[in-house]
Structure 1
Amino acid sequence: MPFQFDHLRTLTALIDEGTFEAAARHLHVTASAVSQRVRAMEQTAGKVLVQRTNPVVPTEAGDAVLRYARQVLLLDREVLSALQVTGRTGGWARVPLAVNADSLSTWFLEALCDLPPELEAAFEIHRDDEEHTTSLLRSGAVMAAVTSTPEAVQGCSVEGLGSMRYRAVCSPAFAERYGTGDPELLLDAPVVNFDRKDDLQDRFLRDLAGSPSRGPRHYIPASEDFARTVLLGFGWGLVPEHQCAQELEAGRLVALSPGHPVEVRLYWQRWNLRSPLLDEVTERVRAGARARLHPL
C-alpha cells in the first residue's frame, strides 16, 4: 500500500474536520503530528494534497487520495466486522451521500429508515442540485449520490432510479393576477427558484414560450419552504408532484400548463466496490425509488 493506514485516516479526518487542530482533537494526537503525516503523504505522492486554507480543502491530487482513503477505511472496517474483531471496527460507519433537496424531502430518508441497525451506519447527507452531486462523488467527499448524470464517474457504477415529475403551479390569487392559460404571460411574472443553480423554471419556459423568465426571482433554498413560498403566492414555480398533489386537488394551488409536466431523470452512482454496507444502502435506495418515482 503506497500510504500508511494511519496517514489515510489522518487525511480523511483533516478534510472532514476542516482544520489541523480539529483533526488532532478527533484523532487524539497533536496538530504537529497531523501536519507531519500529511507532509509524509505528500512526499509519497510527489504532489501537494491539501490547500492550507480555513477550512482545509483537497487539491485535485488530494481528491484522488481522499477517495482511496475512504474506500480503504470502509473495507478495513467491514473486514474487522466480518471477523468479529471486538473493539477494532472504529464504531459506527460514516456514510457520506449526496442527494438533491427534492429527493431528500420526498422519498430518500424514508428509503433509508429501515436499514438494519447492526450495520451501524451514521449518514452524512450533502444536499446539492441533482446536476452537481457528481462533483462531490468525483472529489471523494461522498461514496454515493443521487444525480441526473447517466455517465458513470470514474471508479463508480451507475443505475437508473426513475424520474421525478414536477408540476408548474401557483396560488389562485397569483393566477388571477398574471393569468394561467398562456405560458408567455409567465415570462415577466415573479418566479421562485431554489438557488442560483436552479434552472428548472427557465427550462420550462424555454420549452413552452421560447425564452427564460424575465421576471423578478425569489431564491428559497429549502424544498419544503420552496413549495410553501409558491403556495403563499410569492411567485410560480415547479414543485414535485408528491408535494403539490393535495393542494391542487383542494384548489389551494393552480396548475400552469397541466399537460406539460417536467420530468427529471435520476440515477444512483456509487463506488464500484463490493461492500455489504454500501450494497444494503443501494438496495434500500432502489426500493424507495421504485415506490415513489416514475419509471424511466
Structure 2
Amino acid sequence: MSGCLAQPLGKMRYKMLASADFVNKWFSAGVNRDTLRKTPAVIFNHKDLMHSEVLLKGYGLPMQSYPYSFIPATDAFVKAIQLGLGYGMVPELQVQPLLENGTLVDIMPEAQLDVPLYWHHWKRQSQQLDVLTETIVQSAKHILR
C-alpha cells in the first residue's frame, strides 16, 4: 500500500495438536488416512486453511471427507482441543506450557507450519508510533522464530 511499510517480524509455528486422552481414544491405531476420516477436527474458521491443507497434502483428504467444527475464538478454540472435542492446528506460542506438561500432544510433527508475520505501519508516523513500532519489532525478535 502506498505510504506504508510491511516489516517482517518472524515466523509463528503452528502444530497439529490434541489432548492426550483424545489421542488415546481416536488415534490408538495411529494417525493415518482411515483414522483421520472418522476423527473430529476443530478448525478456527472457514478462512483458516492450514488444517485442510495439511490433511489434503499429507493424506489426500479434502475437507468434506472428515468431521469438523468451527470455533472462531482463540481461547475457546484451544479449550475445545484441550477438552478433547477435536484436534487442530494451534500456535505453539499460545500453548507452550500445555505441550511441556503433556496436556496437549503433537500428533503430526511433520505437519508443523511456520507462518511469517509482518508489522504494517506508515512510512511517516508520529514519534509515539515510531516507539510502538520499535517495541513490537524488538519484542518479536525474542518471541518469534
Q: Say yes or no: TM over 0.5.
A: yes
2:31 is matched with which residue? Answer: 182
User: 1:192, 1:220 within 8 Å by CA — same for their partners in 2?
Assistant: yes
Displacement after TM superposition at 1:173 (Å): 2.5
Q: Deviations over 1:60-116 (max 9, x none)?
A: xxxxxxxxxxxxxxxxxxxxxxxxxxxxxxxxxxxxxxxxxxxxxxxxxxxxxxxxx
Match of 1:270 among 121, 135, 138: 121
- Equivalent residue for 1:210? 60
| 2:131 aligned partner | 280
Q: How many Å separate the matches in 2 of 1:212 and 1:269?
A: 33
Tell me which residue corresponds to 1:191: 41
Decide whether aligned partners of structure 1 residues 159 and 229 sit closer, same or farther in structure 2, where only a CA change above 3 A counts. Answer: same
Structure 2 unaligned segments of length 5 or more: list them.
none
Task: State the 4+ residue runs in structure 1 displaced beyond 6 angstroms.
Answer: none
CA shift at 1:243, angstroms?
2.5
Q: CA deviation at 1:289?
A: 0.9
User: Within the alignment, does 1:158 sit opposite 2:9 as a pair?
Assistant: no
| Aligned AA (2:93) | H
CA contact (8 A) 2:37 2:67 kept: no
Which residue is equivalent to 1:90? none
Q: In 1, distance between residues paired with 2:92 and 2:26?
A: 22
Q: Percent identity?
A: 35
Q: Which amino acid aligns with 2:56?
A: R
Q: Give, in angstroms, the shift of residue 158 of structure 1.
A: 1.3
Residue segments in structure 1 that go unaligned for 5+ positions in a row? 1-152
Distance 1:215 1:177 in 2: 17
- Would the aligned equivalents of 2:10 and 2:144 in 1 still touch at CA under 8 Å? yes
CA distance in 1, matches of 2:109, 2:57: 14
Show the counterpart of 1:143.
Answer: none
Change (3 A) 1:168 1:276: same
Deviation at 1:172, TM superposition (A): 2.1
Question: How many angstroms apart in 1 are the aligned matches of 2:100 and 2:125?
Answer: 45
Q: 2: distance between equivalents of 1:274 and 1:283?
A: 12
2:141 maps to 290
Q: Distance in 2 between matches of 1:212 and 1:188?
A: 13
* 1:50-129 alignment runs, 5 A limit: none
Instruction: Give the structure 2 partner of residue 243 of structure 1.
Output: 94
- Look at both structures and tell me which one has the larger radius of gyration over its CA atoms: 1
CA drift of 1:177 comes to 2.7
Contact 1:183 1:257 (8 Å CA) reproduced: no
Aligned-pair CA distance for 1:260: 3.1
Change (3 A) 1:246 1:272: same
Equivalent residue in structure 2 for 1:219, among 70, 82, 86: 70
Match of 2:21 in 1: 173
